[in-house]
Structure 1
Amino acid sequence: MSWLHETLVGFDLETTGTETAESRIVTAALVEAKGGEVVRQRDWLADPGVPIPAEAAAIHGISTERAVAEGRPVAEVADEVAAALCEYWRAGIQVVVFNAAFDLSLLSAELRRHGLPSLDRRLDGAPPGPVLDPLTVDRAVDKYRKGSRTLQSACAVYGVELADAHRAGSDALAALRVGLALARKYPGEVGGLAPAELHRRQVGWHAAWAGGLQEWLRKGKEPQAVVDGSWPLRVTADTTTG
C-alpha cells in the first residue's frame, strides 16, 4: 500500500526571525493525518526569552506580551517537540516540513542553546528522517516554473486550501496536503518511492538546487555568496539565502 494512505505528520514553527542560529521558537505544531485528514494535532506557544520583533509578530500574530503571559519556557517546548518528532521517526513515519532545512535547523539550534539532547542523539546516532519537504520536491519536479516558491504559492499551484497562513497548525497541515498532492501528480518521482528513498533523493535535489543558486549569485552582485546544500539540517549556521 502506498504511503499516501498511511499516517503522515506535518510540522511547522513560527519564530522570532529568519536566521536559524539566532531566531527562537514562538509557536510549534505537529499535525498527524491519514489520507490528508487530521487525526491529532498538538500545538505549543513558547516564551522565546527574547523580544519578538514587530515585523515577526505582524506575520504570525504573537506579540512579546502574549508570549510572556501565555507561553511556556522555550526550552520545555523545544524538548517536547524534539521528543515527539523523534517518536514519529523511530516508528518510520514521514514528517512533512516545508523548507525543512529552516525549521529543523532552528529547532536543533534551540536544543543546543539549552543544553538539550540533539535530534540524532535522541535517535541513537541516526540522522533525522524520513522527511518530506514539499519545497525541495517542488523545486526538483517543476524546476522551471516561474514565480515564488512560498507555501502559499505551492498551495495555489497544487490546489490546497490554506485558511490561516502563518499559523503553525494551518501551515503544517497545508504542507502535508501539498506533499500528498505532489505525490499524486508525480507518482514516479515522488509517490511511488519508499519514504527512505524519497528522503535520500531530496538530499541530492537540495544540494543541486543550492549549488545552482550559489553559482548564479556569485556571477552577479554576491561573489562570496555561500548557499548551504545540506538537507534536512544545515551544516552552516546560516546561509546567504534560502
Structure 2
Amino acid sequence: MTEPLREPAGVEALELLSTGRLEVVGRLTDASNATFYATVEAGGAEAACVYKPVAGERPLWDFPDGTLAGREVAAFAVSEALGWGVVPPTVHRDGPFGEGMVQLWVDGDPDVELVALSRRTDHAGLRRMAVFDAVINNSDRKIGHLLPVPGGHLYGCDHGVSFAEEYKLRTVLWQWQGEPLTEEALDGLARLAGLMAEAGGPLAEELAVRLTGPERYALRRRVELLLEHRVHPYPSPAWPSVPWPPV
C-alpha cells in the first residue's frame, strides 16, 4: 500500500513528479485547456497532481502555440529563485497524452473565503504573490487561482499565460499599486536578478528552454525596473487590468 506524499515541496516532490508512474483519474472540466486530475506513484510514495498536456492547449493569438506548459514550469523556477515557494512543485514530462506540465495538487483551506482574501492588504503572502505576478507578467491572476493552505501559506496556480514580452499584467491584486516594495520583496528580487545573471546556471538554463530570448530579456527588465523604482507597478492604460471573470 502506498503512502501519500504529504509535504508539497522539495526535492522529494520534484523527483516523484518527474519519474513516478502518472495515471489520469479524471478531467477538470472547468479549465479552458485540457487539464487532468492524476496520481503519480513511485517507490511506495504517491501524490495527487494536475497534468496539462501540450496537445490539449488551445491556440491563443498572443502566445506561441504549445508553450503554455513550459511557461508554468518557468513560473515555478522563478518562484523558487525568489525563495518564496508561491508555486507548487512543477515539472515538464511525458504522460498518457504526451508531454506536458505536471504540478503537485494542493488542497486549499476550505475555511478561507477567497474573495475576502483577495481584497486584504495585511496578508504578507498575498502581497508576495502580487510581486511575483509583476515579475512573470501574469495576464490571468484570478481569485480562483489563489490556493491558501492550512497553516497560512499561499500558493498560486495557472501561470500558462505569463512571460509575454509586452506588459500584460492582469490581476485582481492591485491594492498595493504605487506603494513601496517590502524589504522582503527587494531581497527576493535581488536574489532572482543574480541567479538570472549566472550564465550557464540552473535558472538561466531552465528559462532558456522555456522562454524565447526576447521574453527572457523582458523578464530581466521587469526585475530591474522593480528594483530601480522600488514600488508595486500600476495597471497599463492600454490593457484590461483585471481578468474576466475575476473569479
Higher helix share: 1
Q: TM-score, normalised by structure 1?
A: 0.31
Q: Which has the higher contact order (CA 8 A, sep 6+)?
A: 1
